[in-house]
Amino acid sequence: MAIKALFPTLLYRAPLSGNDTRFNRTLLDECQALAASDAAGRRWSAKNYLGGYTSYGSLDRLHMVSSVFARLARQLDRHARAFAARLPYDLEGRKIAMTDCWLNVMPAGVVHSLHLHPTSFISGTYYVQVPRGAGALKFEDPRLSRMMAAPPGRAFVSLPAKAGDVILFESWLRHEVPPARYAGERISISFNYAWSAR
């Protein structure tokens, strides 16, 4: 008898870099300054990201407007290329590039509901600051809507958030951040990559 895995769902997790705590501190300072100064983002968040702050509705290409975020993007590019090489796609003669990059600040109790990223190829998160007990990144089994008569099983997988880590996944994979109780703010940077002909 032989059993083979068909169409597996891959997730990528790695530290951003060796042990560059100085850069992460610089990035944290940049994130806090941005959250304090982005009035348009705070207004958007008050309607769409209750209790938290995101630059998604105001500044969603931070890698193009901040030298600190541009440096982050260069480091993330290496991880995105490594992940893309493991995916079952023909990327010969094509390039992948970051298209969007935005900041998320989640105090305790803030929810990021189940969603996907329809206009991209690879999506991900970099964790800048993660208080103890902060919300995990929860992924939905992509087969869930097709399990007509399946017995009970695991429909979600949660990955605990860890400061300094990069998580990458294919953009069609639905995910969320459920509410959690903790002290402080969970600060992350989300981003998307698209592919194009060279």
> What is the pTM assigned to this prediction?
0.94
Tell whether 7 is covered by a domain.
no
Tell whether 102 is covered by a domain.
yes
Pair of tokens at residue 18: 């060796």
SS3 for 122-158 is EEEEEEEECCCCCCCEEEECCCHHHCCCCCCCCCEEE
Tell whether 90 is covered by a domain.
yes
Q: Residue 75 is part of a domain; what is its CATH number?
A: 2.60.120.620
Nearest to 118 by CA among 103, 100, 144: 100
Tell whether 163 is covered by a domain.
yes
Tell whether 107 is covered by a domain.
yes
Q: Which SS3 state, helix, strand or coil, does residue 44 take? A: helix
Nearest to 188 by CA among 158, 163, 157: 163
Confidence of residue 39 (pLDDT cuts 50, 70, 90): very high
Alpha-helical segments (H) within the chain: 21-37, 39-48, 67-86
CA–CA dist 46, 36 (Å, integer): 14
In a 13 Å sphere around the CA of 192, the CA atoms on its Cβ side amount to 17
Pair type for strands 112-115 and 175-177? antiparallel
Instruction: Calculate mean pLDDT across residues 16-43.
Output: 93
pLDDT tens digits, residue range 180-192?
Answer: 999 999 999 999 9
Q: Which amino acid belongs to residue 26?
A: T
Residue 147 has a pLDDT of: 87
Q: For residue 35, count CB atoms less than 10 angstroms from its CB and return exposed for 0-12, middle for 13-18, buried for 19 or more.
A: buried
**What is the count of structural domains for the chain?**
1
Tell whether 6 is covered by a domain.
no
Tell whether 4 is covered by a domain.
no
Residue span of the structural domain in which 172 resides:
12-144+154-197
Tell whether 149 is covered by a domain.
no
pLDDT tens digits, residue range 119-164?
Answer: 999 999 999 999 999 989 999 999 988 888 889 888 999 999 999 9
Confidence of residue 194 (pLDDT cuts 50, 70, 90): very high
